[in-house]
Amino acid sequence: MNSIKVDFLKECGNMKPMHAVNNGPSGSKVRMAMNNYSDFTDAGIPYARTHDASFSANYGGEHTVDVHRIFKNFDADENDPASYKFESTDNYLKDIESVGTKVFYRLGASIEHGQKEGTYPPKDFNKWARVCEHIISHYTEGWANGFYMDIEYWEIWNEPDCSNPDGSNPCWQGTYDEFLDMFVIVFRHLKTRFPQLKIGGPAFCTSWRDDYNKKLFDRLEKENLILDFYSFHGYRNEPYGYGEDITHAYELLKKYGCEDKTELILNEWNYLRGWTGDDYTYTMEQMRKLKGASFVLGTMCTGQKSPLSMLMYYDARMCAFCGLFEAYMLTRKKPYYSLYMFNKLYKLETEYLTESDSRDLYCLAAKKENKAAILMTNFSDRNELDSKNVKIDITGFTGDGGVKAEYYLLDEKKDLEKVREEIFNGSTFSPILKLEPYASYLIKLEKL
């Protein structure tokens, strides 16, 4: 029998937004059918990153978010509101805010696998910085009949280190030195203009490109600049692999003495067994199923227990990498419920100590006043993953009239349905559960 220990006497810090996503809600609000607006609200999605929004007609398509889609003529006057086309992005960001989700704005361009337009180096880095300034001002200061939105995070570019098998880069058409020149100019300008906002990036494909990392942080150190956040991406087939990625990134920040000043944000991730052939086909199938849901929950547990500040699933947009919603009816898929479950702990605010005796068992606990909750899932990408009988030793949560425990199961047949309820008395109690491969439990506790 396996075991999980939960100690509600040992605080581990605040619950963090591990259930953030890329992109916002979709569907028709006019017909009031086939949309997922209420699903975003129900799952309490905290942030939506705007990368690749321009691929979706639901968000305004090719007129949306990307700098070159808003400021279409780079030779125009950047100080003239008439030079900007904000309408589609206005509507998209308002839709995100309407479901209680905050915008995380990516400045730059969507990935370009075919024709290149927005991923070329800007002709004038300083002017591009001023264009970004006016976009930020439009959404946070009301410039050009704009808004006063609470958009705190502004990310400069996306994956300048990306490389296709043929050596081409779908995200940056210049040299890396040119990128560093641009990044430093834009970062300094925006941070000087908006000191109250969090400016960062550069959304590297991985935290392990030490050559890219060294040149970036050496340059920032030379320029006496400190990022508000360092963002990176990663696609894995085991949640514990993200722990290694995050640790590597945190050691980088420690090396440059900014671990207390620069947030770590992993803002593109999902299950991936492989990018080609049968592995890629398998990935696309499992990403939407119970296995994908278990992977999502295990990754959020891993991120919460790490130095990471935020985790952002890719993607809530209707695309090949969306495992949250069915593409046409927008109904909930299994991985959606993992975000929903995590939000139940997120609202309890404070994480408490959990430990498991198996790398396949991911767990998390949170408590606030008379209520607590525990998450657990059984995941490994090994084909021989077995079911597990798990004893859960719970201490430090007692009530004068006992503790009511409710058990909600996510498996092949159940979408987080309550399957059990019981009352415990005493200072410790130890329920036993059976976890089939990729099954997940949410246990709600309440003092009586």
- C-alpha–C-alpha distance, residues 15 and 349, integer Å: 5
30, part of any domain:
yes
Backbone angles phi, psi at 104, to 5 degrees: -115, 105
- C-alpha–C-alpha distance, residues 363 and 375, integer Å: 5
Average pLDDT over residues 375-379: 98
Alpha carbon 84 to its chain centroid, in Å, reads: 29
196, part of any domain:
yes
Each residue of 92-103: pLDDT tens digit? 999 999 999 999
- 338 and 356 both lie in a single domain: no
- 332 and 366 both lie in a single domain: no
- C-alpha–C-alpha distance, residues 324 and 288, integer Å: 7
172, part of any domain:
yes
- 272 and 419 both lie in a single domain: no
* pLDDT greater than 90 at residue 383: no
pLDDT-wise least confident of 42-46, 227-231, 264-268, 399-403:
399-403
**Domain span holding position 245:** 16-349
Average pLDDT over residues 192-204: 98
Which residue, of 349, 377, 399, is where some domain finishes? 349
Of the chain, the percentage scoring pLDDT greater than 70 comes to 99
* pLDDT greater than 80 at residue 30: no
Which residue, of 349, 377, 395, is where some domain finishes? 349
- 361 and 312 both lie in a single domain: no
- 307 and 383 both lie in a single domain: no
* pLDDT greater than 90 at residue 368: yes
- 198 and 295 both lie in a single domain: yes
Which residue, of 318, 349, 380, is where some domain finishes? 349
9, part of any domain:
no
- 380 and 266 both lie in a single domain: no
- pTM of the full structure: 0.97
Each residue of 50-60: pLDDT tens digit? 999 999 999 99
pLDDT level of residue 31 (50, 70, 90 thresholds): low
* pLDDT greater than 90 at residue 29: no
4, part of any domain:
no
- 240 and 360 both lie in a single domain: no
pLDDT-wise least confident of 215-219, 267-271, 399-403:
399-403
- 79 and 115 both lie in a single domain: yes
Assigned token pair, 448: 């009586």
8, part of any domain:
no
- 187 and 235 both lie in a single domain: yes
- C-alpha–C-alpha distance, residues 205 and 245, integer Å: 11
- 356 and 345 both lie in a single domain: no
143, part of any domain:
yes
Each residue of 124-172: pLDDT tens digit? 999 999 999 999 999 999 999 999 999 999 999 999 999 988 889 999 9
* pLDDT greater than 90 at residue 400: no
Number of residues that this document lists for the chain: 448
5, part of any domain:
no
Of the chain, the percentage scoring pLDDT greater than 90 comes to 94
* pLDDT greater than 90 at residue 33: no
The domain that contains 431 carries what CATH number? 2.60.40.1500
The domain that contains 188 carries what CATH number? 3.20.20.80
- pLDDT for 353 equals 98
* pLDDT greater than 90 at residue 254: yes
Average pLDDT over residues 415-421: 97
Q: How many domains does the chain have?
A: 2
Identify whether the C-beta of residue 14 lies closer than 8 Å to the C-beta of residue 26. Answer: no
- 68 and 29 both lie in a single domain: yes
- pLDDT for 32 equals 59
* pLDDT greater than 90 at residue 342: yes
